[in-house]
Amino acid sequence: MSADVFVWVKDLLQSIHDARISNQEELDAFRVRFLGTKSEIKSLFGEIKNVDNDRKKEFGLLLNEVKQAAEEKYESLKTLLEGQTGGQSDSGLDLTAPCEPIAIGSRHPVSIILNQIIGIFSRIGFTVAEEREIEDDWHNFTAMNTPPDHPARDMQDTFYLKDSTTQLLRTHTSSVQARIMTSQKPPIRIIAPGRVYRNETISSRSHCQFHQVEGLYIDEGVSFADMKQTLLYFAREMYGPQTNIRLRPSFFPFTEPSAEMDVYWGLKTEDDYRITKGSGWLEILGCGMVDPNVLENCGIDPAKYSGFAFGMGIERQAMLRYKVTDIRQFFENDARFLSQFSGVI
């Protein structure tokens, strides 16, 4: 009996090797004969009890070889058959046909404007610097010439972390400037884009979170004229080559002298009258020469170095560019609103 069963197994193995399949029906028959629940191979496992003890191991190894050969043969035949039929299944579906087009999303308008601003300043040597959004009091306020009793702190309602008087959500990206100035030596020429937070009432014109881009240039001999020319270049790249600007005196604790910059928007339409309050001029950013106290706080010699800084809200720039009247639309993830910017890069 033992010899006969070994011959049976070897004949079965040869049958597997010799199998030729030309269609799906023959492939299914092969699977049923050799790999099905009532296959010839499975029935052979029941013959192990009839094999002499000294040959049981040999018989078991031979059965495993047959089973593995059947599985490999089936997979190869299946692949070959699918290649011959062009990937079509029995259902009549052409699996090689292109799928339905997937809708392409769009960039967020804030990202579009941010990338444009970064591109403009990159062309004149500014590099991007990014830092943490959870900041400490020193980098956010004190280093920027805003000590604990300074009245300028009342200008910004701050989100402090729970049970902390020193950890907060940054109110401006000036904290990035402080970290750069304390870790790098001049010359420094950076822009610092990022999200900032202030405890403000959410309305069509203000939000508790928004994005800023702040710039900083520190070197020997930097003047107010350098700042004006840099910002004029930005305005004309951003709003058109005929754009005019004006600088109005203002106050910021970390710059002296300080100014607010307006661009001439015009009075061509009724919207222009509303946006510019009838003046034609529109404020877009704040700027000024870096206060010597800020340089000293950050370990830079104010007798040797000077610099200028500026900052603007990205949402405000986006609202102007795309005539968006409600800042809340930038944060609501409404697909109908965002789809308007498809194709814009």
Query: Token pair 């950013």 is at which residue?
Result: 285
Q: Residue 17: pLDDT band by 50, 70, 90 thresholds?
A: confident
pLDDT per position as a tens digit, 294-318: 999 999 999 999 999 999 999 988 8
Q: Give me the percent of the chain exceeding a pLDDT of 70.
A: 93
Tens-digit pLDDT profile for residues 115-159: 999 999 999 999 999 999 999 989 999 999 887 777 656 656 888
The more confident residue out of 53 and 180 is: 180
Rounded to whole angstroms, how far apart are CA atoms 286 and 247?
Answer: 9
Alpha-helical regions (H) of the chain: 2-18, 24-35, 40-45, 56-84, 109-122, 137-140, 174-183, 224-239, 270-276, 292-297, 314-322, 335-338
Whether the full predicted model's pTM is greater than 0.85, yes or no, is no
pLDDT-based confidence at 1, cuts 50/70/90?
Answer: very low
Burial class (CB in 10 A: 0-12, 13-18, 19+), 193: buried
Structure tokens at 224: 């107010």
Residue 87 has a pLDDT of: 47
The residues, ordered by sequence, that sit 6+ positions from 200 with a Cβ below 8 Å of its Cβ are 157, 206, 207, 208
Q: Are 196 and 210 contacting, i.e. CB atoms less than 8 angstroms apart?
A: yes
What Rg, from alpha-carbon coordinates, does the chain have?
A: 37
Tens digits of per-residue pLDDT, 148-171? 777 656 656 888 898 888 899 999
CATH number for 109-341: choose from 3.30.930.10, 3.40.1010.10, 3.90.1150.10, 3.50.30.10: 3.30.930.10
Q: What mean pLDDT comes out for the span 192-205? A: 88
Provide the residue ranges of all domains of the chain, joining segments of one domain with +.
2-84, 109-341
pLDDT of residue 155: 56
| 326 phi/psi in degrees, rounded to 5 | -135, 115
DSSP string, 151-203: GGGGGS---BPTT-SSEEE-SSTHHHHHHHHHHSPSPEEEEEEEEEE------
Please indicate whether residue 47 or residue 337 has the higher confidence score (pLDDT): 337
Instruction: Give the pLDDT confidence score for residue 64 in this predicted structure.
Output: 83
pLDDT single digits (tens) 52-111: 777 778 877 887 888 888 888 888 888 887 766 554 455 667 777 787 777 777 889 999
Residues 252-281: pLDDT tens digits?
989 999 999 999 988 888 877 887 888 889
Query: Quick one: pLDDT at residue 313?
Result: 92
Q: What is the dihedral of CA 278, 247, 322, 240, to 10 degrees?
A: 110
